[in-house]
Amino acid sequence: MTALLKNKWILATMVVLCLAIVAFSAFGYYYYQYTDLVDRIGGAPGSINLSVDYANGTRQWFNGTIGATLYDAMTQAGWNVEATSFGVMGLYVTSINGVEESAEDSKYWSWWTWTEYGWSHGGSACDKYIVSASESIIWYYSYSNTTTWEMTAPP
């Protein structure tokens, strides 16, 4: 070990090599994220089928809505959206078109995307989710189990 410290060129070379490995790894990660994003949006915001279900028998569809993120699509559709920002984590939607969440009734807004298996719960904040062209997304005012916090899927 002392021989390594005595030769400062070897030590400097090892430091530069470690930095190069870290930089290359970071480049690879961010390049993958970028190409995945470009593939998903196809270079321009896509047209999606957007719906809101108030859980009272009223469901409205806004087909052909354009937006890069789900939140963009909601505002483009003319929705009155109230949300709380949690910084880098994103927006938490508390009200859509005047229908507010209700802690007393354990009813909250959640978004779902249509898959070949049915409705699948959205996994991120609406302002962080990049929509794909022709995707079908629904906002559902649903009951949440107070023990498990599992939300009821749209019918």
Per-residue pLDDT tens over the stretch 7-28: 878 788 888 999 999 999 988 8
Same-domain pairing of 51 and 78: yes
Handedness of CA 58, 56, 100, 144 (dihedral sign): negative
Residue entry with tokens 């009813």: 107
pLDDT value of position 119: 97
Identify whether 124 is part of a domain.
yes
Least confident of 30-39, 52-61, 63-72, 140-149: 30-39
Task: Provide the domain count of the chain.
Answer: 2
Same-domain pairing of 79 and 109: yes
Same-domain pairing of 37 and 84: no
Question: What integer is the mean pLDDT of 127-150?
Answer: 91
Same-domain pairing of 56 and 90: yes
pLDDT value of position 3: 64
Please state, in angstroms and rounded to a whole number, the distance separating the CA atoms of residues 55 and 105: 13
Report phi then psi at 3, rounded to 5: -65, -35
Q: What is the SS3 assignment for 23? A: helix
Host domain of residue 129:
47-143
- Percent of the chain at pLDDT above 70? 91
Grade residue 42 by pLDDT with cuts at 50, 70 and 90: low
Identify whether 148 is part of a domain.
no
**Nearest Cα residue to 97 out of 128, 130, 139:** 139
Same-domain pairing of 24 and 70: no
Identify whether 154 is part of a domain.
no
- Whether the Cβ atoms of residue 107 and residue 95 lie closer than 8 Å to each other: no
Please state, in angstroms and rounded to a whole number, the distance separating the CA atoms of residues 135 and 67: 11
Identify whether 149 is part of a domain.
no
How many angstroms separate the Cα of 57 from the Cα of each of 53, 100, 142, 150, 154?
A: 8, 17, 12, 21, 11
Identify whether 119 is part of a domain.
yes
